[in-house]
């Protein structure tokens, strides 16, 4: 409507002045409802053509969109293990810090596992003490076997000495008996020292390995027990938290609530422009936004990044062939990131606000190029000038937003 009124001032109005003061035709007589088209045909035709040209120029070089918002991240409060709630430590809207407990799951099974792991460690420690006592006993047995061996060797040596002096003094059967005794005592000594070595290996290798396994089982049981207490992963505010003692929670069946982090990227907005604006919108381009949560306020922005792909073209392999006709129903938009031109100007806008945005093409820097022709410069000046129309429309929408939302739409 604004463009039509603007164009009529340069087409219909001069045509009417010519008819009125040059040809003497008056409104209500020569120019009436039935003859207005014939009398003002040049002005009406020019107005329609100029309006269409102006609207096309404005919306092409200065695109707008109502799909603008500042996104924020939420963290789902989920237990690592399913179970029934035993204790609840927070309520909805409560602010929590990183590491603060939120709720606790029934942990009898996990506590029993921890006690069993602790008992296993105590059992291994007891076996270590027993093995040390057995090592001391085995060492004594080995010493006793060595003494008996030395005694038998001394007896055999004495009898052999006597036999060497007088063969008739010592019988050969006695020598054989003493030799068998020495051999038997030598086997006892070897067995005793082998037993000592086995007990020493058990103390140095086996029992430490058993202790390490028992400690690992205790750490695993303690980790499972710690999972029964769900804590906040970061600072934030708890939302939609209606958990009660006895409720069953699970990472799959039922989450407990939502944690809205306290820190997020303030002032960053994401807008979705039509694909026709793909050749116009570039990083560094100036823009303006107006949000429903901050009425009567227009915030200057600057485009910081343009997503190089259209989201609707995303491809994911599946067991069905993609039918492009079904995907053509949603052409998709060009995703653009924007930030306030002046830092801090958008901090008062709550994240998730519904906003509208205008982006403005500017040929100010190119106009200084001496190689440009007259008509090119004139066209660039015209494009920069008509951007003011879109800025006026945005401000008019901002002023009428409370009326349209509160009065015309019934307050919804």
- Taking 90 as the threshold, does the pLDDT of residue 116 lie above it? yes
Q: Is 18 exposed, middle or buried (0-12, 13-18, 19+ CB in 10 A)?
A: middle
On whether both 269 and 338 belong to a single domain, the answer is: yes
Q: Are residues 383 and 246 in the same domain?
A: no
Banded pLDDT at 181 (limits 50, 70, 90): confident
Q: What is the pLDDT of residues 25-79, one digit of tens each?
A: 777 676 666 666 666 667 778 777 877 887 788 888 888 888 888 888 888 888 8
Residues 275 and 198 placed together within one structural domain of the fold: no
Tell me if 34 is assigned to some domain.
no
**83 falls within a domain:** yes
For residue 17, being part of any structural domain is answered with no
pLDDT at 189: 82
Tokens of 188: 């006892």
In the chain, the N- to C-terminal Cα span, in Å, equals 25
Q: What are phi and psi of 235, to 5 degrees?
A: -70, 140
Count: domains in the chain:
3
Specify whether 247 is located in the same domain as 298: no
Q: What's the CA gap between 73 and 258, in Å, rounded?
A: 10
173 with 250, same domain: the answer is: no
**Residue 211 domain-assigned (yes or no):** yes
pLDDT at 412 (0 to 100): 52
pLDDT in tens, 125-153: 999 899 888 888 888 888 888 888 777 77
Co-location of 82 and 129 in the same domain: no
Same domain (yes/no): 387, 340: yes
Quick one: average pLDDT of 331-342? 87
Considering the domain architecture, whether residues 362 and 372 belong to the same structural domain is answered as yes
Task: Report the mean per-residue pLDDT for the chain.
Answer: 82
What distance in Å separates the CA atoms of residue 77 and residue 85, rounded to the nearest whole number?
Answer: 13
Q: Would you place residue 404 in the very low, low, confident or very high pLDDT band (cuts 50, 70, 90)? A: confident
Are residues 233 and 98 in contact, defined by beta-carbon separation less than 8 angstroms? yes
Contact criterion met (CB below 8 Å) for 275 and 328: no
Give the 3-state DSSP-derived string for 119-140, with helices as H, strands as E and coil as C.
HHHHHHHHHHHHHHHHHHHHHH
Region 5-33: what's the mean pLDDT?
A: 69
Q: Each residue of 258-278: pLDDT tens digit?
A: 888 877 767 788 998 888 888
Give the β-pairing of 101-105 and 229-231.
antiparallel
pLDDT at 330: 67
Residue 51's pLDDT is what? 76
Region 76-95: what's the mean pLDDT? 88
Q: Are residues 116 and 218 in the same domain?
A: yes
User: CA neighbours within 13 Å on the CB side: how many for 137?
Assistant: 6
β pairing state of 83-88 and 257-261: unpaired
Q: Kindly state whether residue 26 falls inside one of the protein's structural domains.
A: no
pLDDT of residue 39: 67
Other CB atoms within 10 A of residue 306 CB: 16
Q: In this structure, what are the phi and psi dihedrals at residue 301, rounded to the nearest 5 degrees?
A: -130, 170
DSSP of 154-170: HHHHHHHHHHHH-TTTS
Cα separation values, 182 from 139, 147, 150, 179, 186, Å: 20, 11, 8, 5, 6
Residues 252 and 134 in one domain: no
Lowest model confidence (mean pLDDT) among 161-170, 305-314, 352-361: 161-170
Same domain for 288 and 214, yes or no, is no
Q: Tell me the sheet residues that pair with 303.
A: 338
Domain contains 28: no
List residues bridging with 377 in a β-sheet: none
Q: What pLDDT was estimated at residue 346?
A: 84
In a domain, 325, yes or no: no
Shared domain for 257 and 185, answered yes or no, is no
Closest by CA to 27, choosing from 43, 38, 18, 16, is 16
Residue 68 is part of a domain; what is its CATH number? 2.40.30.170
Interval 204-259: pLDDT, tens = 898 899 999 999 999 999 999 998 999 988 888 898 888 888 888 887 777 888 88
Answer whether residue 171 shows pLDDT above 70. Answer: no
pTM of the model as a whole? 0.65
- Do 58 and 3 form a contact (C-beta atoms < 8 A)? yes
Query: Does 159 have pLDDT greater than 70?
Result: no
User: Which residue range is the domain that position 89 belongs to?
Assistant: 75-103+229-261
| Mean predicted confidence (pLDDT) in 73-86 | 87
In this structure, is residue 121 part of a structural domain? yes
Residue 259, beta-bridge partner list: 75, 238
């Amino acid at each position: 409507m604004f463009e039509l009124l603007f164009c009529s001032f340069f087409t219909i109005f001069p045509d009417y002045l010519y008819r009125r003061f040059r040809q003497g035709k008056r409104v209500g007589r020569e120019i009436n409802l039935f003859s207005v088209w014939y009398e003002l045909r040049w002005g009406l035709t020019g107005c329609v053509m100029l309006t269409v040209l102006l609207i096309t120029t404005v919306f092409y070089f200065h695109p707008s969109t109502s799909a603008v918002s500042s996104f924020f991240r939420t963290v789902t409060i989920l237990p690592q293990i399913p179970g029934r709630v035993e204790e609840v430590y927070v309520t909805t809207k409560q602010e929590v810090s990183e590491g603060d407990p939120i709720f606790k799951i029934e942990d009898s099974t996990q506590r029993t596992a921890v006690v069993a792991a602790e008992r296993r460690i105590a059992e291994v420690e007891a076996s270590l003490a027993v093995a040390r006592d057995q090592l001391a006993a085995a060492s004594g047995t080995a010493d006793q076997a060595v003494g008996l061996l030395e005694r038998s060797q001394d007896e055999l040596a004495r009898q052999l000495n006597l036999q060497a002096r007088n063969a008739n003094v010592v019988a050969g059967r006695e020598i054989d008996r003493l030799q068998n005794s020495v051999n038997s005592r030598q086997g006892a000594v070897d067995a005793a020292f082998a037993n000592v070595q086995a007990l020493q290996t058990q103390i140095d290798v086996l029992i430490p390995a058993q202790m390490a396994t028992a400690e690992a089982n205790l750490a695993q049981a303690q980790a499972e027990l710690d999972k029964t207490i769900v804590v906040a992963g970061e600072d934030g505010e708890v939302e939609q938290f209606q958990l009660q003692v006895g409720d069953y929670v699970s990472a799959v069946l039922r989450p407990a609530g939502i944690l809205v982090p306290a820190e997020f990227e303030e002032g960053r907005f994401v807008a979705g422009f039509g694909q026709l604006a793909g050749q116009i919108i570039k990083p560094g381009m100036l823009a303006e936004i107006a949000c429903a949560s901050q009425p009567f306020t227009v915030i200057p922005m600057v485009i910081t990044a343009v997503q190089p792909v259209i989201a609707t073209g995303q491809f994911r392999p599946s067991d069905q062939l993609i039918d492009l006709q079904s995907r053509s129903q949603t052409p998709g938009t060009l995703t653009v990131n924007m930030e306030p031109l002046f830092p801090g100007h958008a901090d008062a806008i709550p994240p998730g606000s519904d906003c509208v945005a205008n982006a403005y093409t500017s040929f100010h820097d190119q106009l200084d190029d001496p190689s440009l022709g007259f008509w090119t410069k004139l066209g660039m000046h015209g494009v920069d000038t008509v951007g003011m129309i879109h800025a006026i429309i945005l401000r008019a929408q901002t002023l009428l937003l409370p009326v349209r939302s509160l009065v015309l739409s019934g307050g919804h």
